[in-house]
């Protein structure tokens, strides 16, 4: 720690030097006002200590203001003589960080190390608070940008009901408020025409600005080409993949994006879908309560932005009457307690299926809420460690 001292008594200055010049403290003491001002201007100091009567009571405040301007980020501790309340008040009104009374016996000198340490600790704590507030603002800005691409109203084709939800990760730290993180998840739903409904969920690797910008890049490109005609969903995903493989934003630090892109054929009630590293769709028969994943590892596909020549496949699945279809990102099933084993304690596909089966008599929106509630419950209060996007489609009974 570097400490600058400006003092009006040479004998006391020597004693102060002996008291403060210990351990890792680097100290400079000036008993001349010009030298004190020069030192304050030429170097950066962690703390400044000065007598409020240095070099004299008349010039002290002006010198303090010059030193304060030169060391705007460093605390200045003032030492005042008993009875100098009026003079001390001037210093305080002009931003003196902290102060100590200068008793006639000189015992105050032994308190100086503690005062200086406390002043520096206070400034560091304040800087930490300001940084935390700034980071919180940045995270909120990124999250708002991310959430801006998530649709507020989903199209509901005749004979179908559709709900979706995005939930950011929320880490709970013992003794502190939950911290809502920014990430790279999103979902979308839109009509290509009267006969086709597009459903998709995407998840960029990592968190924060990079993940958000990666998912925004994909979202923008999908919106640009979504009205173009592609033979099947695999061709569409392949085109998105080739584009993302040339994106510096996504490619940086080995980034990638998982995607499940699907088309609902409203006339024939079929789901045509392609997965790029995303979890498999889940189908629940509301009549029998039978539930299953629509694909396995071989239908999984490689995440986007890894291999531009990867050949994706389209899978075609029926959407029976009176059934529910779920597509989601892995934040839903990978919910687990902070002290748990992710492999054995996470919510998992079994938890998702169990929740959907238990909610089959509920309205679709309530079933979606229960799905999130059950997934969050699996964290045992520690908060969701990954953001999550879910789209839940129901084909009604005719």
Residues 368 and 259 in one domain: yes
Residue 139 lies in a domain: no
- As a whole number, mean pLDDT of residues 222-247 equals 91
Domain at 25, CATH number: 3.40.50.2300
Q: Give the tens place of pLDDT for each residue, 149-161.
A: 788 888 888 999 9
User: What pLDDT does residue 83 have?
Assistant: 85
Is the confidence at residue 173, as pLDDT, over 60? Answer: no
Residue 258 lies in a domain: yes
Kindly report which listed range (85-94, 246-255, 288-297) carries the lowest average pLDDT score. 246-255
The number of distinct structural domains making up the chain is 2
Q: What is the pTM of this model?
A: 0.69
Residue 360 lies in a domain: yes
Residues 246 and 306 in one domain: yes
Residues 184 and 46 in one domain: no
Q: How confident is the model at residue 174 (pLDDT cuts 50, 70, 90)?
A: very low
Of the candidates 366, 365, 372, the one whose C-alpha atom is nearest the C-alpha of residue 388 is: 372
Is the confidence at residue 298, as pLDDT, over 90? Answer: no
Of the candidates 71, 19, 30, 64, the one whose C-alpha atom is nearest the C-alpha of residue 47 is: 71
Domain at 173, CATH number: 3.60.40.10
Distance between CA atoms of residues 193 and 267, nearest Å: 12
Residues 157 and 90 in one domain: no
Distance between CA atoms of residues 259 and 280, nearest Å: 11
Do residues 70 and 27 make contact, with C-beta atoms less than 8 angstroms apart?
no
Residues 55 and 172 in one domain: no
Kindly report which listed range (8-17, 111-120, 250-259) carries the lowest average pLDDT score. 250-259
Do residues 375 and 165 make contact, with C-beta atoms less than 8 angstroms apart?
no
User: What pLDDT does residue 252 have?
Assistant: 79
Residues 212 and 156 in one domain: yes
| Residue indicated by tokens 């959407």 | 319
- For residue 124, the SS3 value is helix
Q: Concatenate the DSSP letters of all residues of 38-101 into one string.
A: HHHHHS--SEEEEETTSS-TTTHHHHHHHHHHHTTTS-EEEEEETT-HHHHHHHHHTT--EEEE
Residues 324 and 385 in one domain: yes
Residues 33 and 169 in one domain: no
Q: Give the structural domain span for 16.
A: 2-127
- Chain-wide mean pLDDT for the chain? 89
Residue 144 lies in a domain: no
User: What pLDDT does residue 178 have?
Assistant: 60
Residue 140 lies in a domain: no
Residues 61 and 194 in one domain: no
Distance between CA atoms of residues 63 and 40, nearest Å: 10
Q: Which residues contact 340 (CB under 8 A, 6 or more apart)?
A: 346, 380
Strand partners, 100: 79
- The percent of residues above 90 in pLDDT, for the chain, comes to 63
Residue 62 lies in a domain: yes
Residue 133 lies in a domain: no
User: What pLDDT does residue 175 have?
Assistant: 46
Q: Give the tens place of pLDDT for each residue, 79-106.
A: 999 888 889 999 999 999 999 999 988 8
Kindly report which listed range (24-33, 248-257, 385-394) carries the lowest average pLDDT score. 248-257
Q: How confident is the model at residue 177 (pLDDT cuts 50, 70, 90)?
A: low
Q: Would you tell me the crossing angle of helices 348-358 and 364-377 to the nearest 10 degrees?
A: 140
Order of all β-strands in the sheet with 323-328: 160-167, 388-395, 323-328, 282-285, 291-293
User: What pLDDT does residue 172 have?
Assistant: 54
Residue 386 lies in a domain: yes
């Amino acid at each position: 720690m570097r400490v600058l001292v400006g003092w009006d008594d040479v004998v006391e200055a020597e004693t102060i030097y002996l008291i403060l010049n210990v351990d890792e403290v680097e100290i400079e003491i000036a008993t001349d006002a010009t030298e004190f001002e020069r030192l304050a201007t030429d170097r950066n100091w962690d703390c400044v200590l000065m007598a409020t009567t240095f070099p004299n009571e008349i010039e002290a405040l002006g010198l303090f203001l010059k030193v304060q301007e030169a060391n705007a980020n460093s605390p200045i501790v003032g030492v005042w003589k008993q009875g100098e309340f009026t003079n001390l008040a001037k210093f305080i009104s002009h931003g003196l960080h902290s102060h100590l009374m200068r008793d006639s016996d000189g015992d105050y000198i032994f308190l100086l190390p503690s005062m200086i340490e406390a002043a520096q600790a206070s400034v560091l704590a304040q800087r930490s608070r300001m940084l935390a507030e700034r980071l919180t603002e940045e995270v909120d800005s990124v999250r708002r940008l991310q959430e801006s691409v998530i649709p507020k109203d989903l199209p509901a084709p005749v004979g179908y009901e559709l709900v979706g939800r995005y939930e950011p990760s929320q880490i709970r730290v013992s003794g502190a408020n939950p911290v809502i993180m920014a990430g790279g998840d999103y979902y979308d739903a839109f009509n290509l025409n009267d006969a086709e409904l597009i459903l998709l969920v995407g998840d960029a690797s990592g968190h924060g600005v990079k993940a958000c910008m990666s998912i925004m890049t994909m979202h923008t490109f999908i919106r640009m080409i979504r009205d173009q005609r592609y033979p099947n969903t695999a061709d569409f995903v392949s085109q998105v993949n080739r584009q993302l493989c040339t994106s510096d934003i996504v490619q940086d630090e080995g980034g990638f994006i998982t995607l499940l892109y699907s088309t609902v054929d409203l006339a024939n009630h079929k789901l045509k879908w392609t997965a790029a590293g995303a979890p498999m769709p889940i189908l629940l028969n509301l009549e029998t309560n039978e539930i299953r994943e629509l694909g396995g590892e071989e239908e999984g596909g490689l995440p986007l932005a890894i291999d531009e020549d990867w050949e994706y496949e389209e899978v075609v699945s029926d959407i029976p009457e009176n059934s529910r279809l779920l597509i989601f990102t892995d934040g839903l099933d990978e919910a687990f307690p902070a002290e748990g084993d992710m492999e054995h304690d996470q919510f998992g596909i079994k938890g998702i299926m169990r929740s959907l089966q238990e909610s089959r008599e509920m309205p679709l929106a309530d079933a979606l809420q229960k799905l999130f509630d059950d997934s969050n419950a699996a964290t045992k209060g520690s908060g969701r460690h990954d953001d999550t996007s879910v789209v839940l489609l129901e084909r009604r009974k005719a």
